[in-house]
Structure 1
Amino acid sequence: MTTLFLMVGLPGAGKTTTARRLAGEHGALRLTADDWLIPLFGMVEEDGKRDVLEGRMLWLALEALRLGTNVVVDYGCWSRDERSAIRWLAEAEGACFRMVYLSVDDETQRRRIAHRWATTPAETYPLTEADILYGRAHFEEPDAVELAASGVADPPVGWADWREWAAGRWPSFG
């Protein structure tokens, strides 16, 4: 049975490092948005391009699962709804879903972000103090129920199912 590994956490938590390791260990396709955004657009958050790219990557992830290939989705997935949608989509394809949540304290996060920018500026992007604070304020940390993978909640009011919600969240998914 194929598995979709979903990396969850803030910048500097070690998601991409762990995603690379998991991809190697499980023969998985690794989909890291930053690996595409910078070469394609030279930036990360310009004009909604990240959402468009993530939607196509999610579509590709489901195609890979159908073909019998494990996938590592490395977006960060700050919201519970994003994580629920991806879990539901993977399980609807008959795949296993494994959330990999990496927590990071303030000091470690800032140190890792500064190191990444100093050593590999062509592979990353600058994060300001305001960016870090914004992330910490908006990140919905997974709780014990979500981490236990004990099912997916219903989609938010107004959405028929998680596939429809995902198409609304990531414009290029549907």
Structure 2
Amino acid sequence: MNSVHIVFGPLGAGKSTLARKLSAKLTGVRFSIDEWMFRLYGPDLPQPMNLAWVLTRVQRCEAQMWEMCLQVLDSGRDVVLDQGFMTEADRTRVRLLAGQSGYQVSSYFIDADLQLRRERVMRRNTEKGETYAFEVTGPMFDAMEARFERPSPKELEQCCHV
């Protein structure tokens, strides 16, 4: 049976790297919110940053990505979702959608020390490597850090170990 693979964790934990490895291993199709947001809205990003503006567009992207995921799943392939999943409600919503559509779900929580994650993000800004989509400033990092909801012990029990 085809599966939905949810990769989640705080900013700079290594979600995109893990999602790329998973999609290669599974020959699945990866959906990355950073790539979609950059391509569709990057040139229009307001200065200074407006979190409400960004979150509205994230929701639009996620809705379209889910429609694409269903097509991929129906065609016989797994999907790997690298969408941030900042809140438990975000993660639960996708688990329910997948279950209602008849697909299995595997969740992967990835984390790292706060200082290491901040260093990774700032280095990614400079190096602009494989997982770079757009610059994440210090204030953006702090805003996303404050928004991230760590998984409950019950949610962690449902996660695959990486």
Which bracket does the TM-score occupy, shorter chain normalised?
0.7 to 0.9
Which structure 1 segments of 5+ residues have no match?
Answer: 151-174
Relative contact order, CA 8 A, sep 6+: which one is greater? 2
Residues 40/134 of structure 1: CA separation in 2 closer, same or farther (3 Å cut): closer
2:37 equivalent in structure 1: 37
1:53 equivalent in structure 2: 61
- Residue 121 of structure 1 deviates from its aligned partner by 7.4
Residues 142/58 of structure 1: CA separation in 2 closer, same or farther (3 Å cut): same
Partners of 1:39 and 1:138 lie apart in 2 by 23
**DSSP-derived class of the 2:106 partner:** strand
Q: How many percent of aligned residue pairs carry the same amino acid? A: 27
1:135 equivalent in structure 2: 144
1:164 equivalent in structure 2: none
- Residue 90 of structure 1 deviates from its aligned partner by 1.0
Matched, 1:26 2:26: yes
2:91 equivalent in structure 1: 83
2:114 equivalent in structure 1: 106
**DSSP-derived class of the 2:82 partner:** strand
**DSSP-derived class of the 2:102 partner:** coil
Partners of 2:120 and 2:26 lie apart in 1 by 26
Letter in 2 for 1:145: K
Contact 1:37 1:43 in 2 (8 A): no
Contact 2:15 2:82 in 1 (8 A): yes
- Residue 45 of structure 1 deviates from its aligned partner by 5.9
**DSSP-derived class of the 1:127 partner:** coil
Contact 2:33 2:84 in 1 (8 A): no
Matched, 1:148 2:161: no
Residues 51/33 of structure 1: CA separation in 2 closer, same or farther (3 Å cut): same
Structure 1 runs of 4+ aligned residues shifted over 6 Å read: none
**DSSP-derived class of the 1:30 partner:** strand
- Residue 66 of structure 1 deviates from its aligned partner by 2.4
Partners of 1:50 and 1:94 lie apart in 2 by 25
Contact 1:22 1:72 in 2 (8 A): yes
Q: How does 1:53-72 map to 2 (within 5 A)?
A: 53-72=61-80
TM-score, structure 1 as length reference: 0.77
1:92 equivalent in structure 2: 100
Stretch of structure 1 that moved more, 51-60 or 34-43: 34-43
